Structure 1
Amino acid sequence: MNIGQEVLELLKEEITDVQYNRYIKQLTYDAKKSGGDLAIFYAPNALISNWIKSKYSEKIAHLFEIKSGSKVSVKITLKNSTDSKSKKQKNEQKQHSLLNPSHTFDNFMVGGSNQFAYAAVKSVSEAAGQVYNPLFIYGGVGLGKTHLMQAAGNVFQNQGKSVIYTSVEQFLNDFIRHVRNKTMPSFQEKYRKCDVLLIDDIQFLSNKEGIQEEFFHTFEALKGNGKQIILTADKHPKKIGGLEKRLQSRFEWGLVADIQPPELETKIAIIKKKCEINKVKLSNDIINYIATVIESNVREIEGILSKLHAYSQLMHIDIDLAFTKNVLKDQLQENRANLTLDTITNNVAKDLNIKPTEIRSKGRSKNLVYARRISIYLCRELTQNTMPQLAQYFGMKDHTAISHTLKKINELMKNDEDFKVKIEELTNKITSAS
């Protein structure tokens, strides 16, 4: 072990493991060129070099003096580029981007709810900085925004472009750290020199003036140099409160695309694809049941499949519909805890273009009877209300009228496939919106 390595080992005892592994461990001591009053270390990139210079150059020099007995000047620089070095830096850059390699366009399930966003991101991935810049994708939690964004990032990265993927929280933490360490030029070089910037959850810029100012200049620098920017949020730019007008307008410069909760057919396709990937065998009845009862959050699907698979393996039980319902009953109760009779009736009324008050009236027209039956059935299925409570809500004589309606509905579902599909679609819409 040379003296440079010995000094770094001494420094390791005085700093955190995170700082040592992330920065100091990356240094290489040049024993041949060092000597006398000069100690030369090589860093793999400018970010690490600048960080160590600002934080530990003096400390390293002090440890050299303790170890050797003489004062030295510490030089931390970048090694001359070589093919192997370039390859290593590319690998480090790839790791730094934090992209999930499993997020690809091929395994993203496309349906009516996300088709426009998918097409937009795919177009951008084929011509970075030339179309739809910035691309702004918005929608609820777990609908695939990050998957699409990272799918494009993986395409760019495979093309040899430098890609930064981060969340607003990580961007903010990075910003604060560089401000404290007085190394803002390194921060600006990192984010303004990349080819592609992907940022998740941009809505969290709200009411953060300092970081909004910095992000505005980062945006301007990248856009001005024809670099691609892709952003995601939970809502349209116009609806993000606490956002500077100039940022809001720039987010709309390129293209704004939304992702809606998946319709029943897309949910079924997603479940089948996840089953294939995770090697879980489910019958069509079970798949249809899961698609009907789960909320709009697509991430929930994998959790459900994992839960079913684990129960089946641990309890040595084949997965059937009854088993599935039993395993998921607690989860479904939690998902539907916030559903009310008004919520369900209003959704049915909206779908069938009827006023909610008409559904609860004494009207006997064919359309009203149809809507009332569906509302009663869904209220019974999706809430904990008793039949007497439902009778009171719908203005019926007593619980026997509710019982008769439920019996009629069950007969229709057995004999009328279109009616059954309508019930499933409404169940899906109501539980997705809850």
Structure 2
Amino acid sequence: MNQYETLWKETLEAIKNNFNPDTFSWICKTSLFRIEDGMAYVSYRSVITKNIMSDANTKDLFEQYLSEMWGEPVHIQLMHYREVEKMMPEEIVQRRTKELVQTKFNADYTFENFVQGKSNQGAYAACFHCCVEDSHTFNPILIYGNSGLGKTHLLHAIGNYLQKERPEKKVFYAYSGDLVSILIDAMKTHNVQSNTVEMVQAQLIDNDYFLIDDIQNLTQSSSQEIFFKVYNSLIAKGAQIVITSDMHPNELEGIQNRLISRFNNGLPINILKPEFDTSRAILRKKLEGYEEACQINDETIDFLAHKFSDDVRKLEGSLRTLVFNATLENVDVIDLPFAQRVLSGQLIVAKPNKLTPKQIKKVVTKFYGLSYNEVEGKSRQKKLVNARHMIVYLCHETLGTSWTQIGQELGNRDHSTIKSSYDRAIKLLKTDTAFQIAMNKIKDSL
């Protein structure tokens, strides 16, 4: 590591806490090429990174820290990495080409730090199993679900586990947008100082684990051709592929049918929003790092678990916000009034929760094209039975409605029948693709 790499690493570490994890993950994809005549040349790959770094406040913050560490004032000049490579000696370019597939994983995203519950235990088990077994029975593993539920955490957990326990394994991880950029750049350039398609393809195939985040963004047809070849070669050599997506493979738009068919041929697993108990467990896990700063009572934990369970990032972010404000105001115990005041500006808290069992029944029956009388009746037709399972599951998971109350909504069925219906819904969410897709669409409607 040269002096500029060391300096940039120290600068990134110094400003890390000024950004949320998502934003910082893009900032990390920069590097300091050199400093000359008071100008620091910083390279980027993605336009997203460029936009973040171009913000006046962000740029001022970097220049302040970098100037302090360098010992004299410097100003940052952003440059696309291709422009930087033209300024480098050829041997350095060749070395960086070989390092194309080296991957850094978030040290906080481990299997130990992943809180399991009914909503995510299938995804967790599949990811952990593929790390400890070489047979790779399920290939590819495709984890799908809404943003903020732990999909990226599991990919990094795989990488961290393998680097620690099985360092001989070669692991590649990339956000699909970055992978597209790499492939498109390779197709556009042909000079000796650039990564050719063949070079990139060979490096991607030379891995034992291939981890791709947000596959729904792989929509460039030209890059899909290369990805298809890489994918087939990896499967043929027995490498494990793990992919995440915001939606089920059948709902992916702009992805070739032959790729969707291969994704379905593996193990698609739906990761759902955490149920109430899992949300509480996540909060208690995060609290382990804040115990010395302040205490939070159980009522507040329950409040956060109820209000922010749709997104684990928001759930954890709400806790960080409370701890930060409690530190500013010298609050020893965070209680419910304090939490409501601090978080009142956030829409999810300010907006009243008007959802009721009757509204859930209305949305589900509309989705299936049924009437209330049909759902409340005795018919065992599959569509009717699935609609009842859906209503039971959503009422209990979303609103915490009792079995008796749900039974009243469904034609005065007894609580044991409703409990059995809930158990059946859990099984269908793990095994029935059509039921999983229907659940996601109904949740969107709600």
Q: Give me the TM-score of the superposition, normalised by structure 2.
A: 0.58
Structure 1 residue 168 corresponds to structure 2 residue 186: no
Shift of 1:334: 4.3
Shift of 1:253: 2.2
Shift of 1:306: 1.2
* CA RMSD between the two structures: 4.1
Once residues 312 and 131 of structure 2 are traced to their aligned partners in structure 1, the CA distance between those partners, rounded to angstroms, is 23
Show CA shifts across 1:368-400 (max 9, x none): xxxxxxx9xx99xxxxxxxxxxxxxxxxxxxxx
Show CA shifts across 1:102-147 (max 9, x none): 2111111111111111111111111246221111110111111111
Q: Match of 1:180, as an amino acid?
A: K
Match of 1:276 in 2: 288
Show CA shifts across 1:141-185 (max 9, x none): 111111112111212223121211111100011112222222222
1:256-267 correspondence to structure 2 within 5 Å: 256-267=268-279
Shift of 1:317: 2.5
1:216 and 1:247 in contact (8 A); partners too: yes
2:142 and 2:268 in contact (8 A); partners too: yes
Match of 1:322 in 2: 337
- Three-state SS of the structure 2 residue aligned to 1:257 is strand
Structure 1 spans left out of the alignment, 5+ residues: 1-10, 21-50, 61-73, 80-88, 359-374, 380-428
Q: Match of 1:121, as an amino acid?
A: C
CA change 1:141–1:433 in 2 (3 A) is farther
- Match 1:113 to one of 119, 133, 136: 119
CA change 1:243–1:13 in 2 (3 A) is same
- Three-state SS of the structure 2 residue aligned to 1:113 is coil
Q: Match of 1:301, as an amino acid?
A: L
CA change 1:18–1:174 in 2 (3 A) is farther
Once residues 306 and 157 of structure 1 are traced to their aligned partners in structure 2, the CA distance between those partners, rounded to angstroms, is 29
- Three-state SS of the structure 2 residue aligned to 1:256 is strand
Match of 1:17 in 2: 41
Shift of 1:240: 0.8
Once residues 177 and 93 of structure 1 are traced to their aligned partners in structure 2, the CA distance between those partners, rounded to angstroms, is 13
Once residues 145 and 160 of structure 2 are traced to their aligned partners in structure 1, the CA distance between those partners, rounded to angstroms, is 22
Structure 1 residue 144 corresponds to structure 2 residue 150: yes
CA change 1:78–1:290 in 2 (3 A) is closer
Structure 1 residue 240 corresponds to structure 2 residue 264: no
Structure 1 residue 196 corresponds to structure 2 residue 197: no
CA change 1:254–1:147 in 2 (3 A) is same
Once residues 214 and 121 of structure 1 are traced to their aligned partners in structure 2, the CA distance between those partners, rounded to angstroms, is 25
Match of 2:310 in 1: 296
More displaced 10-residue stretch of structure 1: 134-143 or 294-303: 294-303
Q: Match of 1:219, as an amino acid?
A: Y
CA change 1:143–1:350 in 2 (3 A) is same
Once residues 109 and 144 of structure 2 are traced to their aligned partners in structure 1, the CA distance between those partners, rounded to angstroms, is 18
CA change 1:348–1:277 in 2 (3 A) is farther
Show CA shifts across 1:196-230 (max 9, x none): 11000001123x21111111011011111111110
1:123 and 1:131 in contact (8 A); partners too: no
Once residues 180 and 16 of structure 1 are traced to their aligned partners in structure 2, the CA distance between those partners, rounded to angstroms, is 28
1:165 and 1:198 in contact (8 A); partners too: yes
CA change 1:274–1:432 in 2 (3 A) is farther
Match of 1:285 in 2: 299
2:274 and 2:309 in contact (8 A); partners too: no
Structure 1 residue 104 corresponds to structure 2 residue 110: yes
Once residues 278 and 92 of structure 2 are traced to their aligned partners in structure 1, the CA distance between those partners, rounded to angstroms, is 55
1:268 and 1:287 in contact (8 A); partners too: yes
Once residues 174 and 257 of structure 1 are traced to their aligned partners in structure 2, the CA distance between those partners, rounded to angstroms, is 28
Once residues 177 and 334 of structure 1 are traced to their aligned partners in structure 2, the CA distance between those partners, rounded to angstroms, is 41
Largest Rg, 1 or 2: 1
Structure 1 residue 130 corresponds to structure 2 residue 142: no
Shift of 1:321: 1.5
1:295 and 1:335 in contact (8 A); partners too: no
CA change 1:229–1:321 in 2 (3 A) is same
Shift of 1:189: 2.0
1:113 and 1:263 in contact (8 A); partners too: yes
1:368-383 correspondence to structure 2 within 5 Å: none
Count of residue correspondences: 298
